[in-house]
Amino acid sequence: MTGEAEAVGPPAAEYDEYGFVVPAGALGREIVRYKQQFQPKAERRVTRWERFRRADPSLSNRRRLKRLVRKGIPDSFRKEIWAHCLGSQRLRDANPNKFESLLREPLSDETLSQIELDLTRTFPNNKLYKYEDGVAKLRRVLRAFAVHNVRVNYCQSLNFIAAVLLLFMDEELAFWTLAQVVSSEEGAKGLHIDGYYVEGMDQLRADLRALERIVQRKFPNAYASLRREGVELEWVCQEWFHTLFSTVLPIQTTLRVWDCLFLEGHKILFRVALAIFKENELRISKFQSLEEVMVSMREISSHQVDHNSLLKAAFKGIGRLKRAQIRREQAYGERMVAEENAAAQARRERHNQAHPPPPAKPQLPALDNPGHGEAGGSGEESPVGAAVREAARRLESVIDSCYDSILGDGDDDVDVSPVDGEPPAARLPGSIPALSPDSVFSYLGVSVSSMLQPSNSSDATRSSVNVHRGDNALATSPAK
Amino acid sequence: MDASSPLPKTVHYKLVLLGDASVGKSCLVVRFAKDEFYEYQEPTIGAAFMTQSVTLGDEIVKFEIWDTAGQERYRSLAPMYYRGAAAAVVVYDITNKESFDGAKSWINELKAVLPSDVVIALTGNKIDLEASRCVSTELAEGYAEDNALLFKETSAKTGEGVRELFDEIARKLPKKSQDSDAGGFQVSSNQKASSWSTGSCAC
Ligand SMILES: Nc1nc2c(ncn2[C@@H]2O[C@H](COP(=O)(O)OP(=O)(O)O)[C@@H](O)[C@H]2O)c(=O)[nH]1
Ligand SMILES: [Mg+2]
């Protein structure tokens, strides 16, 4: 994969530049056609990136980086820029023997066999994974990760994420990058979505609830159409978030999404999901049966060939979407999920009282989680630990918001604004929250005292972080 | 709009497949919906959706089938898909004793959560591997009887029993009211889990 401008045209083999079989029929033709159409832009992009890398080798100009990333990272720069954005290169350099030593650690049979089961069925349509060589790489990345991240271990979906990373990176860097994508250790870099992949998947479910509320508000007709046919938004969108779109969008589009996701973080998942609704609003609004919704939504996502248009919609078309709003909706989602879990638990107990439990296996087995062992429980961390993690996560997003108020929150154009021009002088300080400890905590809505008191709730989904902001309004308004 | 169409009436039912990883849920659906069998069935992330119809007298029963993910961890997402189902097929692998325990645990969960008129079918799959059988037909049949479940043994690979399984489910489903042809769909609950926590443990 060189970034050189070579003669274009349909690829000689029926593989694309990433090793995927070009889909048959109209979709495949559309992908090839769009690639040709996009080629001049892609070439300009390469020149710009080369210039940028020469002028700013340490990538210190974050604003410039963000603008360039939003227009797409050329293939030849992806590995380096992803690893930079996520901090995985630093981790790798700082831990030169870690990957190899993780691979020497044992894993449970259950984990090993689940990984094996999935290896042969991860992108069987990609050249790399047709051969044992590529499969072996994927195996090692997933095994090292399972040892490294004890809470997550292995979860289906990670196989797809790792497999895409391996198209650009060697095993060791792919491993560190996967680690940072799932659960960042490096300060402000990386994502924090390990809750998508652990037992219960509470964070995923909460995010889907949050997305639902935002879709309902921004695209009421499309949303109403889904509901009219009895479709839950989460049926459609769960996989989008879980595999970070890699199993639902064309690969070229997935890569554009990941470019932004890895630099700007979690909110990009929301922006892109909303952009898919935006780009197809009219069609979605006219669905007439449940079957049509389910089949067409899959088709719609797999046909997002025009990645530039989708990204434009994500940053402009969908309108404003502040981090604070996403955070509020996430807090709402977390409450809904906690309620759901409590109701499910209560039902289970009521049922078990009526019918003594059979000597089958437990309803919710502990995590496949050897080294983490406090006695009993579901293997989750303590409420205080969860509170601290949560506070850290929120603090980070405040810091991010500060960036945003300097950089503009994603409302800059994707392709129109002059990259080399001066930044608009407006939008500077003003809206940055003052960062005294008090104001930070109240901004975060974290009750410090509650973090320090041991909670007697054993429900793993409830941390003792209380989110005060806007709760009441959200809890009661049906937003109609 | 109904003027001269003597077309059979189509009724829609939501059906969900549950069971441990690798017992053959996806293969069963593919066999039923497309009459095919793939050795390398792609892993199901969350759930996959498919439809297939069964003709029953003057009625077409159209199943809206949800095939759920196998990995244990995805269990927490299952309620998202079995909510509002009219029928559930709980699958185990006759060559794997643990998967039978898994099936029982699923049945317990469903009985605790779903209304009592939901049709639950216990299905022992992979009977083409008779030589390695670990779960006897008598044992499973007895369990199904005690719990008022439909029971069927199948092979997604050869197709044996698959059609019969869905035919029997179709026959056992409660008849729907005649009127709503236009909308067709009426099975899926329009409510969220949080609002249907009212005790449904009618047993
Ligand atoms: N011999 C045999 N193998 C089967 C049968 N059904 C499924 N399999 C195999 O069992 C494995 C898991 O099947 P799959 O449908 O993906 O299981 P799921 O996880 O329950 O969806 C695959 O390798 C299938 O080829 C069957 O009836 N007979
Ligand atoms: Mg499956």
Instruction: Tell me the per-residue pLDDT of A144-165, one tens digit each, with 9 for 90 and over.
Output: 999 999 999 999 999 999 999 9
pLDDT (0 to 100) of residue A359: 53
Q: To probe the interface with B, which of A111, A113, A114 has the most B CB atoms within 10 Å?
A: A114
Going by alpha carbons, the residue nearest to atom 13 of ligand 1 is B24
What pLDDT shows up at residue A178? 98
- pLDDT bucket at A387, cuts 50 / 70 / 90: low
Q: How far is the CA of A48 from the centre of ligand 1 (A)?
A: 51
> Is the minimum CB–CB distance between B181 and chain A shorter than 8 Å?
no
pLDDT of B172 strictly over 60: yes
Query: Is the per-residue pLDDT at B59 higher than 80?
Result: yes
With an 8 Å Cβ cutoff, is B52 touching chain A?
no
More confident residue, A461 or A7: A7
Burial class (CB in 10 A: 0-12, 13-18, 19+), A99: buried
Q: Specify the higher pLDDT residue, B172 or A399.
A: B172
Burial bucket for residue A440 (CB in 10 Å: 0-12, 13-18, 19+): middle
Is it true that domain B9-176+197-202 has CATH number 3.30.70.100? no
Confidence of residue B7 (pLDDT cuts 50, 70, 90): confident
**Chain A: nearest CA to B4, how far in angstroms?**
23
Question: Token digits for A273?
Answer: 């999901």
Residue of chain A whose alpha carbon sits nearest to that of B45 = A239
Domain A202-344 has CATH 1.10.472.80: yes
Q: CB–CB of A350 and B199 under 8 A?
A: yes
Between the two ends of chain B, the Cα-to-Cα distance in Å is 43
Strands B87-93 and B9-19 come out as parallel
Q: Where are the domains of chain B?
A: 9-176+197-202
- The gap from C-alpha B68 to its chain's centroid, in whole angstroms, comes to 10
pLDDT bucket at B44, cuts 50 / 70 / 90: confident
The 8-class DSSP code of residue B132 comes to: G
Q: What CA–CA distance (Å, rounded) separates A167 from A186?
A: 23
Side-chain half-sphere CA neighbours of A189 within 13 A = 19
How much is the pLDDT for A333?
Answer: 98
**Banded model confidence at residue A232, pLDDT cuts 50, 70, 90:** very high
Burial label, A271 (beta-carbon count in 10 A; 0-12, 13-18, 19+):
buried
If you count residue pairs, one on A and one on B, with CB atoms under 8 Å apart, how many are there? 132
Q: What pLDDT does residue A33 have?
A: 96
Determine contact, residues B37/B30, Cβ cutoff 8 Å. yes
Q: Do A198 and B73 touch (CB under 8 A)?
A: yes
Mean pLDDT across the stretch A381-402?
Answer: 55
Q: What is the pLDDT of residue A422?
A: 37
Provide the residue ranges of all domains of chain A, joining segments of one domain with +.
25-196, 202-344, 383-451+464-475
| Residue A12: pLDDT over 60 | no
**B-chain residue closest to A245, CA distance:** B45
B105, B188, B197: residue with CB nearest A343: B197
**Contacts with A234 (C-beta within 8 Å, 6 or more apart), sequence order:** A205, A208, A209, A212, B80
pLDDT band at A137 (very low <50, low <70, confident <90, very high): very high
Model pLDDT for residues A252-277, shown as the tens digit of each residue? 999 999 999 999 999 999 999 999 99
Res. B138: pLDDT tops 90: yes
Mean pLDDT of A205-212: 98
Q: Label residue A121 exposed, middle or buried (CB < 10 Å: 0-12, 13-18, 19+).
A: middle
> By alpha-carbon position, which residue is closest to atom 12 of ligand 1?
B22
Q: Bridge-partner residues for B92, per DSSP?
A: B124
Closest CB to A290 among B43, B64, B101: B64
- Which ligand gives the minimal distance to the CA of B19? 1
Residue A411 vs residues A150, A428, B84: alpha-carbon distances, Å:
38, 14, 41
Q: Is A66 helix (H, G, I), strand (E, B) or coil?
A: helix
Task: Name the residue with the closest Cα to ligand 1, atom 22.
Answer: B39
What's the pLDDT at B19? Answer: 95
Give the residues across from A203 on adjacent strands. none
Tens digit of each residue's pLDDT (9 = 90 or more) over B64-111: 999 998 788 999 899 999 999 999 999 999 999 999 999 999 999 999
For B12-52, the DSSP string reads: EEEEEEEESTTSSHHHHHHHHHHS---SSPPPPSSEEEEEE
What ligand 1 atom has the least distance to the C-alpha of B39?
Answer: 25
**pLDDT at position A472:** 33
Atom of ligand 1 nearest to the CA of B38: 25
DSSP string, A110-138: HHHHHHHHHHTTS-TTBGGGGSHHHHHHH
- Determine the pLDDT at residue A13: 55
The ligand minimizing its distance to the Cα of B125 is 1
Segment A165-183 mean pLDDT: 97
Beta bridge partners of B17: B67, B89
Summarised one tens digit per residue, pLDDT across range A350-367 is: 877 877 655 544 444 333
Distance of CA A110 to the CA centre of its chain: 26
Residue B6 pLDDT greater than 50, yes or no: yes
Residues with CB under 6 Å of ligand 1 are B 19, 21-27, 39, 41, 44, 70, 125-126, 128-129, 155-157
Mutate to test the pocket of ligand 1, among B16, B22, B81 (most ligand atoms within 8 A of CB): B22
Reported as a pLDDT band with limits 50, 70 and 90, residue A241 is very high
Residue B61, H or E segment = strand B59-68
The mean of the pLDDT values for chain A is: 80
Q: Residue A120 — pLDDT band, cuts 50, 70, 90?
A: confident
Smallest-distance ligand from the CA of B38: 1
Q: Is the dihedral of CA A188, A191, A197, A200 positive or negative?
A: positive
- Residues B87, B105: Cα–Cα separation, whole Å: 17
- Of A102-111, A126-135, A299-308, B170-179, least confident by mean pLDDT is B170-179
Average pLDDT, chain B: 84
pLDDT of residue A190: 84
Structurally, at CATH architecture level, domain A25-196 sits in: Orthogonal Bundle (1.10)
